Chain A
Amino acid sequence: MRTPRHDTPGVEWSPSTEATAPMGPDRSQPEPYPQTCPACGGELGIDGYCLTCGQKARSLREHYELEPVSWLAGVCDIGQLHARNEDALMCAAQGDRAVVVVCDGVTTSQDSDLASMAAAKAACQVLWTNNPQGLGTPASRASAVAAVITQAVAAANEAVIDQTDPASPNSAATTIALAVIDGSTAYCANVGDSRVYWLPDEGEPQQMTKDHSLAQDGMDLGTGRAEAESSAMAHTITKWLGRDATDISPNMATLDIDIAGWLLVCSDGLWNYVSEAADLRSTVVPLVADQPTARQLAARLVDWANRAGGHDNITVACARLQGHDCDD
């Protein structure tokens, strides 16, 4: 068995204020920007405009990339049409263990950009700091991890509620999709319609998560995917995190990784353009021909979705996993 080699711990990145704001969200802080101008390398003003060439830089909320280890990275991007980025991505990794969380704030709810970020941070924190081993058997391990995932989703839900202005009639809401990677096992979970895909180098690609959406309900009743996902109500989610959520129990699945491949955690900003797992692999195959890093692949998929229209915010996290049968 071969495990990927990594030596950097998870990132500590804080895009906005802490997730507790008793009077509702705090937007008083300026948006964070990169250190230097992407266009000319000059110093950026606090408003994001370069102090030399004047070009507007994207804020770190509009576009950021995380790469805690070389085999796991993600890109969170505003897309082409939305005014702000309501997706959020958090991840942490060390050795062959990693945690990835993607949240997609519901556009029609208030402050969902803050809510999704708070949720992703809270869930990532719980998942990363709790590393249960169970009684040693895979089954007891899986149930111990499931308990942590349930705890993480609950923490994310609390974080969303804390970000919600108590007076808001339109309280913040977000989806969540997450993966806990531990050696050659990946534990996946979701609430709402953000997804985890497994794209093995050979064999059947699969969508590891099952959406909570009207489209999925339609598919469960026998409607074809293409028809279900193109209906007017397809994007209506039936579960979410937030003050008015009634059921936050996630769908969960465990993946035993026996062959090398890519694990993808993404928001619908990507899968809107390629939903079926087999189609997603067809999209990925030409993008990995030159054996890119995880960060390069995530960036390429975000670019691809942006070129396809970028109608929604786009988040893609990619993990390059070596199966336990691999021997190199």
Chain B
Amino acid sequence: MAIFTSMVYQNEFLADGSTDVNAIVRISCSEAGTAGQTGVGDVGEIVIVDTSASMGLVNLQAAKDAAMVAVDTILDGTYFAIVAGNHRPYLAYPRVTSGPGMVRMNPTSRAEAKRAIGSFRADGGTAMGSWLLLARSLFRSIPSLVGKHAILLTDGENHNESVPQLDASIRQCLGEFQADCRGIGVEWQVSEIRKIAQALLGTVDVIPSPRELPRVFHDLIARSMSRGVPDAQLRIWAPQGAQTLFVRQVSPTVEDLTHRAMPINPLTNAYPTGAWGDESRDYHISIRLAAKAVGTEQLAARVQLATGPSILTQGLVKAKWSADPGLTAQISAEVAHYTGQTELAAAIQEGLAAHSSGDDVTATQRLGRAVQLATQSGNEEAASKLGRVVDIADAATGTVRLKRDIDKADEMALDTASTRTTRIRG
């Protein structure tokens, strides 16, 4: 049985007249167990491989190898399916046209799936929305599934669907399954894939070389298999009259959850968090209260993690109004750190967007700020990836110059890494 714990980092003291309470709540899970083997229900894995013409021989072969590794990594007993996508979605395995669209993994199905993967050919266009909708239907065809996870690999833009079409498909998949998305090469759009991954509570990353693809697929499936808690919700109670300014996951990645709120009762909202393994995640909660008299203590939020009706852990975010500036002036180090990490992610994404639209002044300014924030907070990954896009004159002040020839792959690597945060130092 998984064990959840929570820690609250905040300065609960508010100056007279202050209204805003900020806190970092760290939720940790241990003894999560293995997906599908904790007695709460079955889990399903779907591997979605882009088989459009642009994949070409090299990338397609890498994708086939990777999909076979994924099939090897999926544990026996897990429901699975293989989807091959181009401008249309194809169920590559199991080869059924109706009824249950997924089968349990066993030595026979594993071998059959690999043969199906071996017959992939690169052909046609790209319509990722249709791939997602097929995956949704496949997951829905197995009613016993409590955990649903897909990995999606693409190499190009979503040419065969309009943006509203893709968005509509993503919306239909919200809450249906989780998807980790990977792009190979430099012809795909980070923002497009990130949109899918964020909506479906997954990760996004660039795969710089086809050789790395099998290892990436192995790691993604292995991590999914280690998530013994198939689905959990973050629940936030705030007092009557309070306003939830924002709810963000801030570690391991920055994900704004504010707009994902689902009301549980008039004072409690639930936010999806997907499956949990042995890990910890940090959330930044910001609540606006009516100011109270000095000396008053109240709760600003109850932050809970729940599976179904069960509350597994709870952190209390407090507010105490005080006249002592020595108490009220301090900002929690964790709150300050993650506020900086969130700004870092935004600065990178805004800088790269400005650069791609030709606004090099804004790009230089925003990426300079990003260098400054990454250096201050010890985010070495961001700092080193920024260093491949800008020449850094002075990291402390954020003085940078855009590199003359920016490698597209470096830009994409920086973009996909932008939401990954570091924990506070020390």
Contact B239–A56 (Cβ < 8 Å): no
Residues of B within 8 A of A55 (CB): 239, 296-299
B229 within 8 A of A: no
A273 on interface, CB distance cutoff 8 Å: no
Indicate which residue in A47, A52, A53 contacts B316 across the interface (CB closer than 8 Å).
A47
Considering the complex, give the chain B residue whose CB is closest to the CB of A55.
Answer: B298
A52: nearest residue on chain B (CB-CB)?
B240
Give min CB distance, B31 to chain A, whole Å: 23
Residues of chain A with a CB closer than 8 A to B40's CB: none
Contacts of B299 in A (CB 8 A): 49-50, 54-56
CB distance A49 to B316 under 8 Å?
yes
Is B62 in contact with chain A by the CB < 8 A criterion? no
Q: Is A56 a contact partner of B316 (Cβ separation < 8 A)?
A: no
User: At the interface, yes or no: B43 with Cβ under 8 Å from chain A?
Assistant: no
Query: Which residues on A sit within 8 Å (CB–CB) of B333?
Result: none
Q: Does any Cβ of A come within 8 Å of B300's Cβ?
A: yes
Question: For the complex, what is the distance from the CA of A49 to the CA of B242, rounded to whole Å?
Answer: 15
B262 in contact (CB, < 8 A): no
Contact with A along B276-290 (1 / 0, CB 8 A): 000000000000010
CA distance A180 to B241 in the complex (A): 50
For chain B, residues 278 to 332, give those with C-beta under 8 angstroms from any C-beta of chain A: 289, 296-300, 302, 316
A40 to B298, CA, bound (A): 12
Q: State whether A49 touches B298 (Cβ < 8 A).
A: yes
Q: Which of A37-74 contact B (CB under 8 A)?
A: 40, 47, 49-56
Size bin of chain B's contact surface: 10 to 19
What's the Cα separation between A238 and B289 when bound, in Å?
Answer: 50
**B residues less than 8 Å from A56 (CB atoms):** 297-299
B residues in contact with A40, CB < 8 Å: 240
Given contacts A47-B316, A49-B316, is CB(A54)–CB(B242) below 8 Å?
yes
B267 at the interface (CB under 8 A from A): yes
A119 to B104, CA, bound (A): 67
Give min CB distance, A55 to chain B, whole Å.
Answer: 5
- Interface of A, secondary structure class, is loop
Say whether A52 contacts B267, CB under 8 Å. yes
Q: Which of A47, A49, A53 makes the CB contact (< 8 A) with B240?
A: A53
The answer to whether B300 touches A54 (Cβ under 8 A) is: yes
Q: Which of B242, B297, B299, B302 has the most CB of A within 10 A?
A: B299
> Once the chains are docked, how many angstroms separate the CA of A51 from the CA of B238?
9
Chain B, 50-86, CB within 8 A of any chain A CB: none
Range for the number of chain A residues in contact with chain B: 10 to 19
Contacts of A51 in B (CB 8 A): 237, 267
- Verify A53–B239 contact, CB threshold 8 A: yes
Complex Cα gap A40–B296 (Å): 14
CB distance from A303 to the nearest CB of B (A): 15
Taking a contact as CB atoms under 8 Å apart, the answer to whether B297 and A52 are in contact is no
Closest A-chain residue to B301, C-beta based? A54
Interface residues of B in 232-265 (CB under 8 A from A): 237-242
Complex: A55 Cα to B242 Cα, angstroms: 12
Q: Using Cβ atoms and an 8 Å threshold, which residues of chain A touch B300?
A: 54
* Chain B nearest CB, measured from A58 CB (Å): 10
Min CB gap B84→A, angstroms = 52
**Nearest B residue (CB) for A58:** B297
Task: Give the complex CA separation of A53 and B316 in angstroms.
Answer: 14
Best-surrounded residue of A50, A52, A54, A55 (most CB of chain B within 10 A): A54
Q: How far is the CA of A56 from the CA of B241 in the complex (A)?
A: 16
A273 to chain B, nearest CB (A): 20
CB-CB contacts of A66-88 with B at 8 A, as 1s and 0s?
Answer: 00000000000000000000000
Docked pose: A53 CA to B242 CA in angstroms:
9
Which residues in A have their C-beta under 8 angstroms from that of B241? 53
Expressed in whole angstroms, the minimum distance between the Cβ of A134 and any Cβ of chain B is 52
What is the minimal beta-carbon distance from A216 to any residue of chain B, in angstroms? Answer: 36
Interface string of B91-131 (1 = CB under 8 A from A): 00000000000000000000000000000000000000000
A95 vs B35: C-alpha distance when bound (angstroms): 69
B327 to chain A, nearest CB (A): 15
CB neighbours (8 Å) of A49 from chain B are 298-299, 302, 316
Q: How far is the CA of A175 from the CA of B240 in the complex (A)?
A: 44
A50 contact set on B, CB distance < 8 A? 239, 298-299
Nearest residue, chain A, Cβ from B238: A54
User: Whole-angstrom distance between the alpha carbons of A50 and B316 in the complex?
Assistant: 12
Q: How far is the CA of A55 from the CA of B299 in the complex (A)?
A: 6
Expressed in whole angstroms, the Cα–Cα distance for A53 and B296 within the complex equals 12
Could you tell me the distance between the alpha carbons of A53 and B241 in the complex, rounded to whole angstroms? 8
B240 surroundings in chain A (CB, below 8 A):
40, 52-54
Complex Cα spacing A55 to B316, Å: 12
Question: How far, in Å, is A44 (CB) from chain B's closest CB?
Answer: 11
Please name all residues of chain A whose beta carbon is closer than 8 Å to the beta carbon of B297 when the two chains form the complex: 55-56
Q: Compute how far the CA of A55 lies from the CA of B298 in the bound complex, rounded to whole angstroms.
A: 4
Contacting residues, chain B, for A53 (C-beta < 8 A) = 239-241, 298
Find residues 1-56 in chain A having any chain B CB closer than 8 Å to their own CB.
40, 47, 49-56
Taken together as a complex, chains A and B put the C-alpha atoms of A180 and B238 apart, in Å, by 49
Shortest Cβ gap from A208 to chain B (Å):
36
Determine the distance from Cα of A139 to Cα of B406 in the docked complex, in whole angstroms: 105
Report the Cα distance A54→B241, complex, angstroms.
10
Query: What residues of B have a CB within 8 angstroms of the CB of A47 in the complex?
Result: 316
Nearest CB on B from A57, distance (A): 10
Q: Can you name 18 A-B pairs with beta carbons within 8 Å?
A: A49-B298, A49-B299, A49-B316, A50-B239, A51-B237, A51-B267, A52-B240, A53-B239, A53-B240, A53-B241, A53-B298, A54-B240, A54-B289, A55-B239, A55-B296, A55-B299, A56-B297, A56-B299
Q: A50-B299, A53-B240 are in contact. List 20 more A-B contacts (CB 8 A).
A: A40-B240, A47-B316, A49-B298, A49-B299, A49-B302, A49-B316, A50-B298, A51-B237, A52-B239, A53-B239, A53-B298, A54-B238, A54-B239, A54-B299, A55-B239, A55-B296, A55-B298, A56-B297, A56-B298, A56-B299
* Shortest beta-carbon contacts, A-B, top 8: A54-B239, A54-B299, A49-B299, A56-B297, A54-B298, A55-B298, A53-B239, A52-B240
